[in-house]
Structure 1
Amino acid sequence: MVSEGTLLGMGNPLLDISAVVDEDFLKKYDITSNNAILAEDKHKPMYQELAEKYNVEYIAGGATQNSIKVAQWMLQVPGATSYMGGIGKDKFGEEMKKNSKLAGVNVHYYEDETTPTGTCAVCIVGGERSLVANLAAANCYKSDHLKRPENWALVEKAKYIYIAGFFLTVSPDSIQLVAEHSAANNKIFSMNLSAPFICEFFRDVQEKALPYTDFVFGNETEARTFSKVHGWETDNVEEIAVKISQWPKASGTHKRITVITQGADPICVAEDGKVKKFPVKLLPKEKLVDTNGAGDAFVGGFLSQLVQEKPIEECVRAGCYAANVIIQRSGCTYPEKPDFH
């Protein structure tokens, strides 16, 4: 049995404002399909336009929070997971708290008095999603919150810790504290490449955290960007996965395993200099609702088995199952109970 607080996530909690839009909308705001970026000034009017002109859904999201919620759903053990990040003291923040508690996650949010809760525009065209995140209060998270005894207790209790790369833009010192604690206490620390812009513009902090990672997740686009940034001169996802897994390690207790998803193509898992490929269960086009949260759900499913010390094959199978469920629904949402066996 999985004990309480086994898995801890830290990240940027965002309220997803999700809508099906058209190509013109993407062009107008200069956003590309199947990408994730941080909002610039030119994107600010977009949130209002989405709410006014489109049929929007509000869903508590943010990459790490999605993964933690999916792991919690798969585990069905109340409080097996916990999560930290920054929200505002506002309506969206209250919505977020309610949503997470319903999901069974033990959340310890930092609540900022003056900044609104972060939002993420999820623009869906032909089932593919494009994300534009306005971090707002998520950007105000500080390691002071993490160091408070009641919050650091969550770190001490956890045996597995997962942080999406997006959090590198907010509080790299929090990541470092948790990474060093994991290495010193023989815990499993995992991160995600998360987006091409993280590999490009947050290279230094990403490289500082990488030696502490026992699992690195990502998709093929992020892997190729990582390779380009490091001058590896290869686009071959399998080669890149192996190279990431062989990156120097801060603690020698666990070997690093790299897990790269490739949409409908097989998943690459690199370990001990070798790659195993796992086919993805293909979904008929008519069943696809949207891909938002698919990668997060894969990680959540994977972690739900990892914390039970199941073999990698089982972790991948659970990841594929969770992603498959999520893409048949709007946003990162799921039915009441999983039927994963």
Structure 2
Amino acid sequence: MEACSSNHPGLKTNIMTKKGVLYGMGNPLLDMTAVVDEAYLQKYDLQPNNAILAEDKHRPIYDELLNENYKVSYSPGGATQNTIRVAQWYLREPESTSFVGCIGSDPPEFIIKDDKTGQDTFGDKLKSCMKKEDIRTNYLVDPNAPTGVCAVLITGGNRSLVTRLDAANEYKQSHLTSPGTWSLVTDASFYYIAGYFLTVSPDSMVEIGEHAVKENKCFSMNLSAPFLSQFFKDPMKKVLPYCDIVFGNEDEARAFAKDFELNTTDLAEIAKKVAAMPKKNSKRSRIVIFTQGAEPTVVFKDNKAKEYPVLPIASEKIIDTNGAGDAFVGGFLAEYVQDKDIETCVNNGMHAAHMIIQVSGCTLPERQ
């Protein structure tokens, strides 16, 4: 079985960034990627290009990948965690970023037998991968749940995702306010949390938002999924006033507009209305950024909307578009934390997305 590889061969960058300048909080997952055949998908009633939460009938998958001679590669997963990984890849300086979430106290069946590293649990493997990628972490460990995991089942050019959130759903605000975690918060000047965390600990998001307002730091969030604005509207309403930057794609933006009764489907107009919603920190005007696949990215800033065309790419080079949005945010924030102009930030976000859609999963190349 492959272990994760380091993305940093020790190169120096000309731009020094503060240690821990960008802080992320979200649902940490370990991705287990393996090539399977069509019969394997049929065995578990899976579609070749889909993403689902695991049901009871899918639970044997993870044990089978571990123990039935599949060649499995491991990498960190989860929306915010992937964004932080991409940002760190661009920033280069070790520990420019940090990430917090909840992993589990894994049972014996979560043991990975690796010829190179010996034996690790899923949580151990996740921590070691993040360490190799030079990201500071402080995971809460839940003794009653296993580490969240995503089976990434490759068939040809397709990728079927089967996710067990498990411990990722168990994050507690008390961990955020503990000294070891809160020091990561105070070290940072920029914060990013995907909207998925609204289902886990919105009070933790508010706690960070309050700190960001008090210290005039930048707090950003992703709308993440259309269902969030519908079924988690109240926690979203609590967190939005703290947001200096709001990210999303076209589907999420239009779902938000419907659920928050903005009375428009035009992306530029939605962005304008989101930017005008109540805001805690009056020292920062809100920026709203909506990606829309191959169509231009819409950015609303300083009371005007602007479109940025995406980088062209031949269709045969596109391997997997899942994760492109997370990569865009990571690329954008890597420049934004260095006080680059908005065009540079957007272009770097597009470069990141362009890079990620040409590989399976959020796989970062080694730096040359």
- Amino acid corresponding to residue 288 of structure 1 in structure 2: I
Specify the alignment match of 2:213 in structure 1. 183
> Which residue is 1:62 aligned to?
78
SS of match in other structure, 2:305? strand
| Two-structure CA RMSD over aligned residues (Å) | 2.7
| Offset of residue 38 of structure 1 | 4.7
Equivalent of residue 113 in structure 1, options 143, 153, 160: 143
Q: 1:72 aligns with which of 79, 88, 97?
A: 88
In structure 2, give the amino acid aligned to 1:58: Y
Q: How does 1:130-145 map to 2 (within 5 A)?
A: 131-145=161-175
Select which of 326, 329, 334 maps to 2:359.
Answer: 329
Q: 2:103 aligns with which of 87, 90, 96?
A: 87
Gaps of at least 5 residues in structure 2 are: 1-15, 107-120
**1:138-287 alignment to 2 at 5 Å?**
138-287=168-317
Question: Does the C-alpha gap of structure 1 residues 37 and 94 become closer, same or farther in structure 2, counting only changes over 3 Å?
Answer: same
Q: Confirm or deny: 8 A CA contact 2:22 2:190 kept in the other structure.
A: yes
- What's the CA shift for 1:245? 1.3
- Equivalent residue, structure 2, for 1:16: 31
Change (3 A) 1:125 1:215: farther
Aligned-pair CA distance for 1:146: 0.8
**CA drift at 1:133:** 3.5
CA contact (8 A) 1:124 1:290 kept: no
8 Å contact kept, 2:48–2:155:
no
Alpha-carbon distance, 1:125 to partner: 7.9
Distance in 1 between residues matched to 2:71 and 2:299, nearest whole Å: 39
Normalising by structure 1, we get a TM-score of 0.89
Whose radius of gyration is greater, 1 or 2? 2
* Deviation, structure 1 residue 290: 1.1
Structure 1 residues 169 and 133, CA gap change in structure 2 (3 angstroms): farther
| Residue 104 of structure 1: aligned partner | 134
Whole-Å separation in 2 of the counterparts to 1:7 and 1:221: 27
Q: After superposition, what is the alpha-carbon deviation per residue over 1:246-283, rounded to whole angstroms, capped at 9, x for unaligned?
A: 11101101011011110111100012332110010121
Q: Alpha-carbon deviations, 1:187-225, whole Å to 9, x = none?
A: 000000011121221111011000000000111111111
Q: 1:127 to 1:310 in 2, by over 3 A?
A: farther
Gaps of 5+ in 1: none
Indicate the SS of the match to 2:131: helix
Q: Distance in 2 between matches of 1:177 and 1:31?
A: 40
Q: Distance in 1 between matches of 2:39 and 2:222?
A: 29
Quote the residue 1:2 is aligned against: 17
Q: TM-score by structure 2 length?
A: 0.83
Q: How many corresponding residue pairs?
A: 337
**Equivalent position SS for 2:224:** coil
Which deviates more, 215-224 or 321-330? 321-330
For 1:254 and 1:173, locate their aligned partners in 2 and report how far apart those are by CA, in whole Å: 22
Contact 2:296 2:308 in 1 (8 A): yes
After TM superposition, give the deviation of residue 292 of structure 1 in Å. Answer: 2.5
**Equivalent-residue separation in structure 2 for 1:200 and 1:127 (angstroms):** 33
| Partner Cα separation in structure 1 for residue 149 and residue 54 of structure 2 | 10
Counterpart residue type for residue 12 of structure 1: N
- C-alpha contact (below 8 Å) 1:190/1:213 kept by paired residues: yes
